[in-house]
Amino acid sequence: MNKKSLLLSAAAGIFLITAAAFFLFRSRIIRTEKAIGPASAGLSPVQRIRLTLECSGILDRLSAPVDPGSARFILEISDQEDVSSVIQKISKGLGCDPGLFRTYWIYTGSDRLIRPGRYVLSGRLTVPEITDLVTAAGKSLVQFAFLSGMRLEEIAELIDATGFSFTGEEFLAAARNFDPNLHPAGERSLEGYFVPGRYEMSRGITLEEFLSNFVSVFERRIRQPYEAAFIANGLSLHQGIILSSMIAREAMSESEYRLIASVFYNRIAAGMKFESDPTAQYAIGLDPFSGSWWKNPLTAADVSINSAYNTYIVNGFPPGPICSPDPAIVEAAAYPERTDFYYFRAKCDNTPYHNFSRTFEEHVSYACR
């Protein structure tokens, strides 16, 4: 073979090797982009090639949970925190390879999109799923708190103020027409079944997840510990929560929870009406003059309002709870004091306490003058 033929053969070989390398690289690009999307436009050509090749070799690891056995943890990202620090926190918290995040974040440009905030991370998530959490708007945790004694409309107002992905009106519609098969007491309305307290949750939580989470909290903190005690007292779970909700609006001091509970139990046993002011307030609804959902003081006309919730005119329990009681009140309703009191009236000394009476005459004598 002459020199010219050798040169042609060498050139052909180089061409074939180059073509094969090009097609191999091209197939890796296609495979990588199909799996995790295109490389960031902010990368240089050399960076694009290097990171594409790196990602193509770890696609299986990127698509798998980072560590299914690791526990959930809270990732907190401050305003001034750099990406390396964030990656180290994730790696330490989930026990995973920091290189996976570093490579993926630079390839996708996510390293420039990290948002400060608090996030719940789990090893069951993949690298792209964790990345979406810490870069997308509305995924960080937000504080949501409400007090004992609040009714659904008041909770709805807080939902609007917090800025969840759903509105207060949407919450009200869903909470008033909940699936009985999923309801702790088999009812339709979730009034009274939201356990008061402070919660931390994703701002982007769905309405279905929001309701489901609170039902789970109720199951764990209320139904399981106290349902048997209510049954032993002759009440259903639903009646126990109704009773607790009335105590929540009547009592101003924890020291009186069990005493007020005893009055209501004594009235049940005697066949007396509850005659609880908060049930009339609940029936009235929003007071346009004060802007409160709990009108005070009540007039004679108010306590005569025609409503199944008004225990001044109906015997026995109203159809449902009038607000959400906290666990301490539910415990008091499940384990009341044993007294012979049938009446209670707020003291006239501006303290959060009541006078308790055995007779109506004694009850009348405590009226403020």
Report pLDDT digits (tens) over 238-291. Answer: 999 999 999 999 999 999 999 999 999 999 999 999 999 999 999 999 999 999
Q: Is the same domain home to 184 and 38?
A: no
Percent of the chain predicted with pLDDT > 90: 76
pLDDT in tens, 47-62: 988 888 888 888 899 9
Q: What is the pLDDT of residue 25?
A: 64
Q: What is the pLDDT of residue 2?
A: 57
* Local confidence band at 12 (pLDDT 50, 70, 90 cut-offs): very low
- Residue 144 resides in a domain: no
- Residue 100 resides in a domain: yes
Of 29-33, 208-212, 331-335, 363-367, give the lowest mean pLDDT range. 29-33
Neighbour tally for 167: CB within 10 Å? 14
φ, ψ of residue 343 to 5 degrees: the values are -145, 155
* Local confidence band at 32 (pLDDT 50, 70, 90 cut-offs): confident
Nearest to 312 by CA among 343, 344, 279: 279
- Residue 242 resides in a domain: yes
Q: Given a cut of 70, is residue 14 above it in pLDDT?
A: no
Which of 85, 110, 139 is where one domain is finished?
139
What is the CA angle 354-359-361, rounded to 5? 90
Q: Given a cut of 70, is residue 187 above it in pLDDT?
A: yes
Q: What is the pLDDT of residue 9?
A: 55
Identify the domain containing residue 306 by its residue range: 152-338
Q: Is 38 exposed, middle or buried (0-12, 13-18, 19+ CB in 10 A)?
A: middle
- Residue 48 resides in a domain: yes
Residue range 163-190: average pLDDT? Answer: 96
Q: Is the same domain home to 43 and 99?
A: yes
- Residue 329 resides in a domain: yes
Q: What is the pLDDT of residue 369?
A: 82
Residue range 148-154: average pLDDT? Answer: 98
Q: Given a cut of 80, is residue 6 above it in pLDDT?
A: no
Q: What is the pLDDT of residue 137?
A: 80
- Number of domains present in the structure of the chain: 2
Q: Is the same domain home to 170 and 283?
A: yes
Q: Is the same domain home to 326 and 220?
A: yes
pLDDT in tens, 95-120: 889 999 999 999 999 999 999 999 98
Q: Is the same domain home to 198 and 132?
A: no
* Local confidence band at 194 (pLDDT 50, 70, 90 cut-offs): very high
Q: Is the same domain home to 35 and 175?
A: no
- First-to-last C-alpha distance (Å) of the chain: 126
The answer to whether 344 and 259 are in contact (CB under 8 A) is yes
pTM here? 0.81
Q: Is the same domain home to 157 and 242?
A: yes
- Residue 96 resides in a domain: yes
Which of 139, 162, 180 is where one domain is finished?
139
* Local confidence band at 338 (pLDDT 50, 70, 90 cut-offs): very high
- List all residues 6 or more positions away from 109 whose beta carbon is below 8 Å from its beta carbon: 40, 41, 42, 43
- Residue 354 resides in a domain: no
Q: Is the same domain home to 284 and 246?
A: yes
Q: Given a cut of 50, is residue 16 above it in pLDDT?
A: no
Of 122-126, 309-313, 356-360, give the lowest mean pLDDT range. 122-126
Q: Which residues are 73's β-sheet partners? A: 121
* Local confidence band at 136 (pLDDT 50, 70, 90 cut-offs): confident
Which of 139, 169, 199 is where one domain is finished?
139
- Residue 369 resides in a domain: no
pLDDT in tens, 289-335: 999 999 999 999 999 999 999 999 999 999 999 999 999 999 999 99
Q: Is the same domain home to 133 and 193?
A: no
Q: Is the same domain home to 184 and 96?
A: no
Q: What is the pLDDT of residue 263?
A: 98
- List all residues 6 or more positions away from 223 whose beta carbon is below 8 Å from its beta carbon: 184, 237
